[in-house]
């Protein structure tokens, strides 16, 4: 499952597109690709990390153990880098990454990664931009989480699936009600009840894991107002 051909990879990140051929060869030498099935852990909170992960395809959840329960901090869709803050920092994963859909990921040795940051400012700049985007998104997400009530948070996440992940107003949820509750930061029972409410209001249609959004506008209002 090793892959020494980053130069011919069709799923290069925006950052990697800035690399020279010699740099791509360097990357290829210390880059291993792996496939993860839904539910499989890519890396685990508390474990040591010496790799940066480039998620080529798929969808993962980033989970973090809170004082009372596990929380899904966010979903990350490919293409994206995972574990940069951890691996550049104190090397101990501060959160876990678990595949939610079948995913393909490249493990890049941290020393190679650092070398590339050093020799190629354009590469480095792109990585930095991704970190910046993450920080701002995280602030937004946190404020909504704290200030909106559950109804609004659920609406927000249903919209994220529709607009950011599946680009369709109809999709199959890749999570069960328990995971959905962890994502929305509430209880499984409340998710059930509120999905029923949204159905009753004819804002969505639910059939097991299949969701169809009937009234995007009203869902957006709920998402914003709380």
Residue 179 makes CB contacts below 8 A (sequence gap 6+) with: 61, 72
Q: Are 213 and 165 in contact (CB under 8 A)?
A: no
By CB under 8 A, residue 46 contacts a copy of itself: no
- Site mask, a copy of itself, residues 70-89, x = CB under 8 A? -x-x----------xxx-xx
By CB under 7 A, residue 177 contacts DNA: yes
- Site mask, a copy of itself, residues 167-196, x = CB under 8 A? ------------------x-----------
Nearest to 82 by CA among 104, 106, 55: 55
Of 38 and 226, which has the nearer Cβ to a copy of itself? 226
77 contact choice in DNA, a copy of itself, none (CB below 5 to 8 Å, kind-dependent): none
Q: Are 51 and 83 in contact (CB under 8 A)?
A: yes
CB of 181 to DNA, least distance (A): 8
Could you tell me how many residues make up the chain? 226
Cα separation, 123 vs 141, whole angstroms: 27
- Strand order in 170-172's β-sheet? 170-172, 210-213, 204-207
By CB under 8 A, residue 152 contacts a copy of itself: yes
CB of 11 to a copy of itself, least distance (A): 24
Q: How far is CA 117 from CA 114, 120, 122, in A?
A: 5, 6, 8
Of 79 and 85, which has the nearer Cβ to a copy of itself? 85
Residue numbers of the site for DNA (CB under 7 A)?
Answer: 68, 149-151, 176-178, 185-193, 195-196, 206, 208-209
């Amino acid at each position: 499952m090793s892959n020494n051909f980053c130069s011919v990879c069709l799923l290069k990140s925006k950052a990697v597109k800035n690399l020279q051929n010699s740099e791509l060869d360097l990357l290829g030498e210390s880059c291993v690709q792996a496939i993860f099935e839904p539910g499989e852990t890519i890396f685990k909170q508390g474990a040591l990390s010496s790799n940066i992960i480039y998620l080529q395809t798929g969808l993962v959840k980033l989970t973090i153990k809170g004082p009372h329960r596990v929380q899904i901090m966010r979903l990350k869709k490919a293409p994206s880098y995972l574990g940069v803050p951890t691996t550049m920092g104190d090397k101990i994963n501060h959160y876990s990454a678990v595949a939610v859909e079948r995913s393909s990921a490249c493990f890049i040795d941290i020393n190679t990664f650092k070398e590339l940051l050093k020799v190629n400012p354009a590469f480095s700049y792109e990585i930095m931009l991704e970190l910046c985007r993450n920080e701002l998104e995280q602030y937004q997400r946190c404020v909504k989480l704290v200030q909106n009530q559950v109804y609004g948070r659920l609406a927000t996440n249903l919209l994220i699936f529709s607009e950011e992940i599946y680009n369709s107003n109809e999709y199959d949820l890749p999570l069960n009600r328990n995971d959905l509750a962890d994502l929305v930061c509430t209880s499984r029972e409340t998710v059930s009840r509120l999905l029923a409410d949204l159905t009753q209001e004819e804002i969505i249609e639910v059939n097991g894991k299949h969701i169809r959004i009937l009234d995007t506008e009203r869902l957006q209002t709920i998402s914003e107002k709380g």
